[in-house]
Amino acid sequence: MGFCSIIRDMKINTLSDYLKKTYGCKVYKLSLQSGCTCPNRDGTVGSGGCTFCSEGGSGDFAAFFLTRDEYGNSITIEENIDMQIESAKEKVSSKLKGQDHKYIAYFQSFTNTYGDPSVLKRIFERALLHTEIVALSIGTRPDCLPDSILSMLEELRNIYKKEIWIELGLQTINEESARHLRRGYELPVFEDAYRRLKEKKFIVIVHVILGLPGESVDDMLSTVKYLAGLSPSLDGIKLQLLHVLKGTDLAKEYEETGFHIFSLEEYCDVIVRCLKLLPENIVVHRITGDGPKRLLIAPLWSANKKNVLNTINKAIRDA
Ligand code: SF4
C-alpha cells in the first residue's frame, strides 16, 4: 500500500511513481546483507551504536550473510549473494501476482561501505550481474565513503549502466540531538560526503527520524527544510517515525524518562508539514517507520501499517 500523491495542488513524488516512470513496472526491494559491521558499534567511532539501533543494525528484514552452506562447506561471496537474492525473492513472491516486475538489491543493515573496497566490489558486482536487478541501494554512513569506495562504485555504474543509490542515515541536523542519539559524526561530515557523492552524480537518499527525544516539531521541520534546500538537490528522502525497539538504549531511555511519543494524529500533522516543505523533484521514499513488530515497544499504533497509511492519506487529502 502506498501513500497519496497529491496535497491540494502540490504533487508528491512518491517512490512508486518514480519506479514506474523509470522502469515501467513494479520494482521490489530485496533486502540483502553485505556482512559489514558499523564503526559506531565496533569501537572505531563508538561501541554502543546509535541509541535507536536494533540488533539487526537497522535492517531487521535482511537475509543473513552466510559463509557456509547448510552442509558446513564454505561458500564464496558470489554464491552467498546469489543465495541471499533467491531467498529475498522468495520473501516478496507473494506480492507479485503474475505482474511484470524488477528488483532493487537493497543493502540496508549496518554500514555497507565499511569494508575492503575489493571485497565490496565483488558483493555489489554480483548483485548487479542479475539481469532482473535494475539498481543497487546501499545504506551507509557519510564517514564511511572514502574516495576509494566512490571510485569503485562509479566503475560498477559505468560497466553495468544501472542506478546506484546511496542512503545516508542523517536523522537530524540538530547537533545536540545527534550527540544524544550517539550518531558519531557532525553535520560537516555529512556535507562533505554529500558534495563528493553529488560530484560523482550518485543518487542520494537521506533518512530523517521524526520524534527523536528532546526535539521539537520545529527542530524536525528545520532538518527537512535544510535537506529540501541542498544544492545540488537531494534525490530522495525517507521520513521515518521513531520506533522504540526492545534491546536498544533508546528503550532504556524511554523506560527511565518516558519521553514524548507521537500519537498517530500528531505524527500525521508533522508528516503533512514536512511534505509541504519538499520540492517536487525530491522522491519521497517513506513516510512511516519499518520496525519489526516482535521488537516494537512504542508507538504501538505504528504496528498497524494499513491504518497508519490510511490516516496519513486522509491527513494529506485534508491538508
Ligand atoms: S550507523 Fe546505522 S548500523 Fe551503525 S549504529 Fe547507527 S543505525 Fe546502527
- How many CA atoms does the CB half-sphere of 76 hold within 13 Å? 6
Of 238, 300, 302, 231, give the one whose Cα is nearest residue 274: 238
Over residues 177-203, the pLDDT tens digits come to 999 999 999 999 999 999 999 999 999
In a domain, 1, yes or no: no
In the chain, which residue ranges form alpha helices assigned H by DSSP?
15-23, 77-96, 117-129, 147-160, 175-180, 187-199, 217-228, 249-257, 264-277, 305-318
In a domain, 163, yes or no: yes
Rg for the chain (alpha carbons), in Å? 19
Residue 291: band (very low, low, confident or very high) from pLDDT cuts 50, 70, 90:
confident
Distance 140 CA to ligand 1 centre (A): 8
Q: What is the pLDDT of residue 64?
A: 57
Among protein residues, the one whose CA lies closest to atom 3 of ligand 1? 110
Q: What whole-number distance in Å separates Cα of residue 75 and Cα of residue 35? A: 14
What is the count of structural domains for the chain? 1
- Tell me the average pLDDT across 156-163: 98
Q: What is the pLDDT of residue 42?
A: 93
Distance 155 CA to ligand 1 centre (A): 27
Domain enclosing residue 145, as ranges: 6-318
- Tell me the average pLDDT across 203-219: 98
In a domain, 247, yes or no: yes
* Lowest pLDDT segment from 6-15, 28-37, 81-90, 303-312: 6-15
In a domain, 287, yes or no: yes
- By CB atoms closer than 10 A (0-12, 13-18, 19+), residue 50 is buried
Q: What whole-number distance in Å separates Cα of residue 205 and Cα of residue 226? A: 14
What integer best gives the mean pLDDT of the chain? 92
Residue 16: band (very low, low, confident or very high) from pLDDT cuts 50, 70, 90:
very high
In a domain, 149, yes or no: yes
Cell of 106: 537493497
Sequence-separated (6 or more) residues with CB below 8 Å from residue 116: none
**Model pTM?**
0.94
Q: What percent of the chain has pLDDT over 70?
A: 92
Give the residue with greater pLDDT, 239 vs 9.
239
Q: How far is CA 255 from the centre of its chain?
A: 26
Cell of 78: 558470489
Distance 56 CA to ligand 1 centre (A): 9
Q: What is the pLDDT of residue 11?
A: 73
Q: Which atom of ligand 1 is nearest to the CA of 111?
A: 3
Over residues 231-281, the pLDDT tens digits come to 999 999 999 999 999 999 999 999 999 999 999 999 999 999 999 999 999
Over residues 25-66, the pLDDT tens digits come to 999 999 999 999 999 999 999 999 999 998 765 555 555 566
Q: What is the pLDDT of residue 71?
A: 76
Q: What is the pLDDT of residue 9?
A: 56
Omega before 299 cis (within 30°)? Answer: yes
Residue 289: band (very low, low, confident or very high) from pLDDT cuts 50, 70, 90:
confident
Cβ < 6 A, ligand 1 pocket? 38, 40-41, 49-50, 53, 57-58, 110-111, 141, 169
Query: What's the CATH number where 227 sits?
Result: 3.20.20.70
* Lowest pLDDT segment from 1-10, 68-77, 210-219, 271-280: 1-10
Q: Which atom of ligand 1 is nearest to the CA of 182?
A: 6
* Lowest pLDDT segment from 19-23, 25-29, 70-74: 70-74
Residue 12: band (very low, low, confident or very high) from pLDDT cuts 50, 70, 90:
confident
In a domain, 29, yes or no: yes
Q: Which atom of ligand 1 is nearest to the CA of 49?
A: 5
In a domain, 25, yes or no: yes
* Lowest pLDDT segment from 49-53, 66-70, 217-221: 66-70
Q: What percent of the chain has pLDDT over 90?
A: 82
Q: Which atom of ligand 1 is nearest to the CA of 46?
A: 5
